[in-house]
Amino acid sequence: MVAHSFAGGVQLGFATRWPVRIVELVFVDTLAVSREWPLAREATRHPFRLLRMATPIAAGTFLRSLVTHPREVAQAAWWGFTSGRSSDIDQVAAHRLPAHVLWANRDSLLSRDDGRSFAHDLGASFDVARAPDCRSVDHDWMYRHPELFVGHLEALRLAALN
């Protein structure tokens, strides 16, 4: 199961409820622990900067959701920024589910230390993605650099892909 950014919290919740359905977990630059207030501040200060980071399709879909379901988007954001996930992390670690955390070498939204701490608490591997040409990759690297992302997945030798 692969989750990026906000979906990491959803992935943790799924894994705690149905651990027997999980082969392996891959978290990519994810909102995994409750240290997301810097992201909330960034989102309110520079909302269009965040949208610029997204692919055009993702930005359009988000804007459509925001216009048609503003209350639900606000509720989801509030949950993402305020919910503690330590008990979910502890449960996933207790189940000894194989897990990996991948992080952009220059994530402008989330702290690498947060990702490293999350991986440690989860008992997961932690790997920082770097482009072969030494360019920085940012929070949305799995969409903007799909070959790099696939390369990182292959390097993990995921059980589901063997």
Tokens at residue 138, please?
Answer: 């940012």
Q: Are 137 and 131 in contact (CB under 8 A)?
A: yes
| Rg of the chain taking only CA atoms, in angstroms | 16
Q: Report the number of distinct structural domains present in the chain.
A: 1
Q: Tell me, letter by letter, the H, E, C secondary structure of 32-47.
A: CCCCCHHHHHHHHHCH
What's 75's domain CATH number?
A: 3.40.50.1820
User: Each residue of 83-112: pLDDT tens digit?
Assistant: 667 888 999 999 999 999 999 998 877 788
User: Each residue of 108-143: pLDDT tens digit?
Assistant: 777 888 889 899 999 999 999 988 887 888 888 888
User: For residue 102, which phi and psi values (nearest 5 degrees)?
Assistant: -110, 140
**pTM for the predicted model, two decimal places:** 0.77
In the 8-state DSSP scheme, what is residue 101? E
CB neighbours of residue 108 within 10 Å: 13
Structural domain that includes position 33: 2-161
